[in-house]
Amino acid sequence: MSSSTVTEATSTSPPKSTASLRHRLAERGVDASLLMLVPALVFALALFVYPFSYGIGLTFQPSPAIQQAWGGGLFANYVAFFKDSFTFDSVWLTMRLALPVAIFNVLASIPVAFKLRQRFRGKKLLTTLVVLPITLGTVLTAQGLLIFAGRQGWLNRFLIQIGLVDQPIAFVNNYWGVVFSLVISGFPFAFLLISSYLSGIDPSIEAAARVMGANWHQRFRRVILPLLAPGLATTSILTFVLAFSVFPSARLVGDAMGSTRVMSLMAFRAFGEQNDYPMASTIAIMMGLVELVVIALVLVWRSSMYKGSTGGKG
Amino acid sequence: MTSAAKTFESLELHDVGRSFGGRNALEDLNLTVRAGEFIALLGPSGCGKSTALNCIAGLLPLTHGQILIDHKRVDTVAAEKRGFGMVFQNYALFPHLTVEKNIAFGLQMRKVPKTEVKRRVAEAIALVKLEEHATKLPGQLSGGQQQRVAIARAVVVEPRLVLMDEPLSNLDAKLRLEMRTEIRRLHQSLGLTTLYVTHDQEEALSMADRLVVLREGRVQQVGTPQDLHNEPANWHVADFMGYRNLIDLFVTAVNGSTVTVEDKGFSLRGTAAQPVSVGERVRVAIRPEDLVVVSEVVPVRGGNTTKAFVSVVEYHGREFAVGVTTSEGRSLYVRSDQPPVVGSVIELTADPARVLVFRADLIDPSTLSVEEKELAEVRG
């Protein structure tokens, strides 16, 4: 009898609230503080939602030249993207740059972040040196690379003078030039992110593993890595996106029409040289799609990892 | 789980010390621990007790001294090879592993066969009564349950030595009492040698076979709970052992162990706990329960009497904690069965045997090295 009344009480809706409408709305999070979202909303609408939708719309308005060359009616731009090997190859060329760079930046940051987590003399100086390149713009980095590592640069002259090589090595104006530039600008970023994830792991967890008999290799593989994995996933996504959208360095220190003909360059070419807005938009949208696929793959992998608290201040 | 597999005869700490950036966090810790003993390191925060524990665990290298187990040095052995178990203040459970896997970790590191791991983990889980929670993650457990996992994880490997770093300080009062009994029960049934760090003197007194009281990195006294409770070596230990009334006075007469002390008309008779001489400034320690209100049934004891003004009365269940102020402006703490009226004047007395007279300075000259003695003399 008593149990039936209890179920009845829970199944029927609770008695009507006597609080004012304003109070009830506030309970659901509707109050004046929502106004604080207005600037962000305006910006998002004006600078992202509208241009983005406009761009998508443009991709379905192919220019007559494209329609004639590739057919496909409304989808002519997309047909052109996939069938024109000059355009489509840029997906592979960009991937070939962005993936290794993102993986390298993340992997190289882990030991550095580990070392800089400890306390030692000169730690601040070292951290500053590691992070400093983030303040240099891409153009400055490219300029520096050209001067330092170009055919007549200090590096090549030094290598020739000490007799290591007889011909200058082509460090720039090719694939490697862009890789160096992306590492210089991406590594501090990856390092900062991983450091903050690492500082979120309570050091006593590692100490516990140590007292329990785990050597550094076991501690890293069985304790630190699983706890750091979500952070590694996020960091790789962000460094990948940064590297994938490479534009200035691909042009300045790369081989813009050859090995570093990245997607953003192709989009710029369609827009700036061919005045084909719709095609440029199509390439940009495809760029986003490729990034989304990679991000989705990383997130799927991440979802299989532990996601909860790591016990630290993080 | 029936018996500790690898045990030892004695663990010796010789002049163990650790300094951080020129500041000594721990100095000259000498201690011999026998197998199966439960030892508590007791002291206020920052006294070096956790430093001592981390040094023994191998998580901090020693700045000087040696740690020996059966006369073999272990301070040069890496933490992961010492074969100790440790319980951390914040539990330090692996948040991504289930309770079972947390407990199995140490056994897996020791390459114990799988079937045995399974059996021992099940035993350890039963020991701390967590059978229903075996497959949960630490984040799904309450504080007390997490603490149980941490303890099971430390004892499942049958370590030579269990180190506990304030394991109960993050629990609420009721749970703390329960876990205290639990740890004591585990210690008695497993016979594991345990070093237990705490700042709670009640916890230390109730659990440990022997206590080590530390202050500013130096050992103040080593002894059984009874020793420390009844015969504190100096006023600091007395302060820690519940002698809440510490009064600074001057010695006017010494007669055997009976000492008369006074200052500004306030006179007391007490017992010298350390050798003192006439004219010396001393610190007198009295427990609140030994300072009683004079009434028809409670006569003045040994001529010790003073009038005081009642300033605060706290209800403590069975009795009342009373704060009083003497006419010289001294604050004293008194235990009373009857609540005196706030603002009234009462007469207090204390048995001279329960009034302990200590030197005002803490450093015992007999423990100082020759150089330190000379330095002290120069300083006058």
Look up residue B373 and give its two tokens. 């003695």
Pure H helices in chain B: 49-57, 99-109, 114-127, 143-155, 173-190, 201-207, 225-230, 235-240, 370-379
pLDDT at B4: 43
Encode pLDDT of A229-271 as tens digits: 989 999 999 999 999 988 888 888 888 888 889 999 999 999 9
- Is B95 in contact with A205 (Cβ distance < 8 A)? yes
Look up residue B203 and give its two tokens. 């916890």
- Segment A141-170 mean pLDDT: 89
All domains in chain B, ordered by first residue:
10-230 (3.40.50.300), 243-359 (2.40.50.140)
pLDDT at B24: 85
- Segment B76-91 mean pLDDT: 91
Whole-angstrom Cα distance, residue B356 to residue B290? 11
Confidence of residue B164 (pLDDT cuts 50, 70, 90): very high
**CA closest to B164 among chain A residues:** A208
pLDDT at B3: 41
Helices A123-131/A85-117 angle, 10° precision = 170
- Is B153 in contact with A212 (Cβ distance < 8 A)? yes
CB atoms within 10 A of CB A110: 20
ipTM: 0.80
Confidence of residue A2 (pLDDT cuts 50, 70, 90): very low
DSSP string for residues in A271-285: IIIS--HHHHHHHHH
Higher pLDDT, A136 or A58: A58
- Unique residue bearing structure tokens 């720039």: A172
- Identify which of B63, B59, B75, B57 has the alpha carbon closest to the alpha carbon of residue B17: B63
pLDDT at A55: 92
Higher pLDDT, B373 or B43: B43
- Chain B: give the shortest CA distance to residue A65, in Å: 58
Q: Which CATH number does A87-303 carry?
A: 1.10.3720.10
- Segment B134-155 mean pLDDT: 91
CB atoms within 10 A of CB A4: 8
Is A225 in the B-facing interface, judged by CB distances under 8 Å?
A: no
Look up residue B142 and give its two tokens. 């309450």
- DSSP-based three-state secondary structure for B26: strand
Nearest to B105 among A202, A212, A226 (CB): A212
Q: What is the mean pLDDT of chain A?
A: 87
Look up residue B252 and give its two tokens. 């006017």
Confidence of residue A4 (pLDDT cuts 50, 70, 90): very low
Is B139 in the A-facing interface, judged by CB distances under 8 Å?
A: yes
Q: Which positions in chain A touch B105 (Cβ < 8 Å)?
A: 209, 212, 214, 222
* Chain-centre distance for alpha carbon B207: 10
Encode pLDDT of B286-297 as tens digits: 999 898 888 888
Instruction: Judge contact between A213 and B109, C-beta under 8 A.
Output: yes
Confidence of residue A9 (pLDDT cuts 50, 70, 90): very low
Sign of the CA dihedral running B227, B231, B232, B233: negative
- Identify which of A289, A239, A286, A237 has the alpha carbon closest to the alpha carbon of residue A263: A286
- Identify which of B347, B349, B323 has the alpha carbon closest to the alpha carbon of residue B334: B323
Look up residue B213 and give its two tokens. 């009281």
**CA closest to A310 among chain B residues:** B95
Is A217 in the B-facing interface, judged by CB distances under 8 Å?
A: no
Encode pLDDT of B171-221 as tens digits: 888 888 888 898 898 898 888 899 999 998 889 999 999 999 998 888 899
Whole-angstrom Cα distance, residue B77 to residue B67? 10
Is B137 in the A-facing interface, judged by CB distances under 8 Å?
A: yes
Q: Which positions in chain B touch A213 (Cβ < 8 Å)?
A: 80-81, 83, 106, 109-110, 157
* Chain-centre distance for alpha carbon A264: 15
Q: Which positions in chain B touch A120 (Cβ < 8 Å)?
A: none
Is A112 in the B-facing interface, judged by CB distances under 8 Å?
A: no
- Unique residue bearing structure tokens 């002049």: B15
Q: What are phi and psi of A225, to 5 degrees?
A: -60, -50
Encode pLDDT of A223-236 as tens digits: 999 999 989 999 99
Nearest to A215 among B80, B86, B105 (CB): B80
Higher pLDDT, B235 or A72: B235
Whole-angstrom Cα distance, residue B218 to residue A135? 50
pLDDT of residue B100 exceeding 90, the answer is yes
pLDDT of residue B75 exceeding 50, the answer is yes
Encode pLDDT of A277-303 as tens digits: 999 999 999 999 999 999 999 999 888
Is A226 in the B-facing interface, judged by CB distances under 8 Å?
A: yes
Confidence of residue A313 (pLDDT cuts 50, 70, 90): very low
Whole-angstrom Cα distance, residue B308 to residue B299? 16
Instruction: Judge contact between B219 and B57, C-beta under 8 A.
Output: no
* Distances from the Cα of B165 to the Cα of A33, A282, B43, B162, B199, angstroms: 46, 62, 12, 10, 10
Cα distance between the two ends of chain A: 50
Identity at A63, one-letter amino acid code: S
Confidence of residue A304 (pLDDT cuts 50, 70, 90): confident
Q: What is the mean pLDDT of chain B?
A: 87
DSSP string for residues in B40-94: EEE-STTSSHHHHHHHHHTSS--SEEEEEETTEE-TTS-GGGS--EEE-TT----
* Distances from the Cα of A289 to the Cα of A91, A126, A292, A293, angstroms: 11, 38, 5, 6
Cα Rg of chain B, angstroms: 25
